[in-house]
Structures are given as C-alpha cells and as structure tokens.
Amino acid sequence: MSSQQNAECCEPTLSEALSPDRAAELARSFKVLGDPVRLRVLSLIAARRGGEVCVCDITDAFDLTGPTISYHLRQLREAGLVDCERRGTWVYYWIIPAKLGLLSQFLDPADTVTPTAGA
Amino acid sequence: MSSQQNAECCEPTLSEALSPDRAAELARSFKVLGDPVRLRVLSLIAARRGGEVCVCDITDAFDLTGPTISYHLRQLREAGLVDCERRGTWVYYWIIPAKLGLLSQFLDPADTVTPTAGA
C-alpha cells in the first residue's frame, strides 16, 4: 500500500482554482519550509532515503542548541513533513514522502503549463 | 529553448546535503509561497497555462485593495516565481515554469526515497 497514492489523489495543482481553505492549508506547509535551518534539517532526514535519523545525529550536525533543533523538528512534524518515535533515550525521525509528494506535485509546472507555453 | 532545463541543471534535491547558502535561497522562495493569498494569486496566474493575466483581472478576483495585491505580486516577482510587463495602462503577469520546476523537483520524494523505503 502506498501512502503517497492516497495523499496525492484529488489534490489540486497550481493551475486549478484554489479555494481559500486549501490555500491556507498549503501555505502552512510552505511557510514551515520557508526557513533555512528547517530545510537543512529536513534535508538531513531525507538523505537517509526513507530511513530514520536519531535526534542526536541531527543536533550534532548543527551549531544550534537542542531546544532550537527541537523547535524546528516540532514545526516539521506539525506540518506533516516528518514523523517520529521515541525509543529509549532517543527520538527517531523520518520523512513523510506522501506530504512532500503533494507539495511537489502542486508546484509541478508540467501540471501547469502546456508544452508550447512559456515562450 | 527550455528555460526550465537551465534552472533544473545541477540543482539539489531534498536528499542531498544542503549548503547554508542554498538552503537560504530555497527557503526564501518557500517563504513567499507560505501565504494563502499569494498562493491563490499564483494559482490564478498559473491557470492561464503559460499565458498572461492582466493585473486588473487579478485584483477583480480578490476582495482586497489594489496595493495589497500589488504587494503580493511584488513578493512573487522578487522570488522569481512570476514576471510581468507593463503595456499601456495595465501590467501583465505570467508564471516562471523554471522556478516552479526547481522547487517541485527539490521536494519530489521520487528523488528522495527509494522504492522500498517508507515501510
């Protein structure tokens, strides 16, 4: 079963009329991506290609305090871009491909622009 | 000539190490997308599928003042997501597929997650 399949079904593309509710929902996700540290944290997690990353490794990779990293991870989690699980001392994070796919598809100009356009 | 081709060459995907400079650049674009009105304005322009939209039609489509719409259009333009040209009384806007493609590709989980991942 593909979780990506579910999330992308019936989702709008940029070239479709965007309801205020849907726009608000998408904007919330993009706003969370609109921070360089969060993008780098997300990138670090995504670099495991579907695997998990210990919060200890994420914190080690940045010259930032634990609480700051935790804040950014919480923002990413609340936006549905990553999920996590505590096991013993550490929390492990992984990306949610379905959510990333939804945002990627929304912006995909192949869904927006005809091949002859853009001249 | 495809402008998209140039923009997407050598651009990082989410699963690659993201330099602070590149993260800052991408985050600026996502931050601009992190506003529901801007997303709806961009969607309205993109709905022309590579064609142009008069600023008068954009303003008519929203219950917002001209200066507010102009502010959002300027943000979109400064982020390289749209471009415009004045002709006579009106300014005409169109999307930049190359920039949208770059952001879409960056988030694409197909570049991030192996087929067997996510279990």
| Mean pLDDT, each 10-residue run in order, chain A (119 residues) | 45 78 95 97 87 93 94 97 96 95 90 48
B87: exposed, middle or buried (Cβ count in 10 Å: 0-12, 13-18, 19+): exposed
Ramachandran bin of A103, using left for φ above 0, alpha for ψ from -120 to 50, beta for the remaining angles: alpha
A114: chain B residues, CB-CB within 8 Å: 49-50
Please indicate whether, in this complex, the C-beta atoms of A104 and B101 are within 8 angstroms of each other.
Answer: no
> Least CA distance to B31: which residue of chain A?
A34
Are residues B5 and B99 in contact, defined by beta-carbon separation less than 8 angstroms?
A: no
Nearest by CB to residue A113, choosing from B38, B39, B50, is: B50
DSSP code for A108: -
* Contact residues for B28 (Cβ-Cβ < 8 A; gap 6+): A34, B79
pLDDT digits (tens, 9 = 90+) for B40-66: 999 999 988 668 999 999 999 999 999
Residue A11 confidence (pLDDT): 64
Dist CA A116 CA A69 (whole Å): 45
Q: DSSP labels for chain B? A: --HHHHHHTT---TTS---HHHHHHHHHHHHHHSSHHHHHHHHHHHTTTT--EEHHHHHHTSSS-HHHHHHHHHHHHHTTSEEEEEETTEEEEEE-HHHHHHHHHHH-GGGTS-TT---
Residue B8 confidence (pLDDT): 45
A108: chain B residues, CB-CB within 8 Å: 100-101, 104
* Domains and their CATH numbers in chain B: 20-106 (1.10.10.10)
Please indicate whether, in this complex, the C-beta atoms of A34 and B40 are within 8 angstroms of each other.
Answer: no
B36: chain A residues, CB-CB within 8 Å: 20, 23-24, 26-27
A63: exposed, middle or buried (Cβ count in 10 Å: 0-12, 13-18, 19+): exposed
Please indicate whether, in this complex, the C-beta atoms of B46 and A114 are within 8 angstroms of each other.
Answer: no
Mutation target for B interface from A4, A35, A43: give the one with most B CBs within 10 A. Answer: A43
Full-model pTM: 0.83
Please indicate whether, in this complex, the C-beta atoms of A112 and B4 are within 8 angstroms of each other.
Answer: no
Q: What is the ipTM of this complex?
A: 0.83
Are residues B26 and B103 in contact, defined by beta-carbon separation less than 8 angstroms?
A: yes
- Distance from the Cα of A83 to chain B's closest Cα (Å) equals 11
Nearest by CB to residue B23, choosing from A4, A36, A49, is: A36
With a cut of 50, list the residues of chain B below it in pLDDT: 1-8, 114-119
| Six-digit token string for A55 | 């919060």
Best CA proximity match to A36, nearest among B80, B22, B14:
B22
| Six-digit token string for B25 | 């650049």
Residue A73 confidence (pLDDT): 98
Q: How far is CA A81 from the centre of its chain?
A: 3
Please indicate whether, in this complex, the C-beta atoms of A117 and B107 are within 8 angstroms of each other.
Answer: no
Which H helix or E strand runs over A21? Answer: helix A20-33
Please indicate whether, in this complex, the C-beta atoms of A117 and B109 are within 8 angstroms of each other.
Answer: no
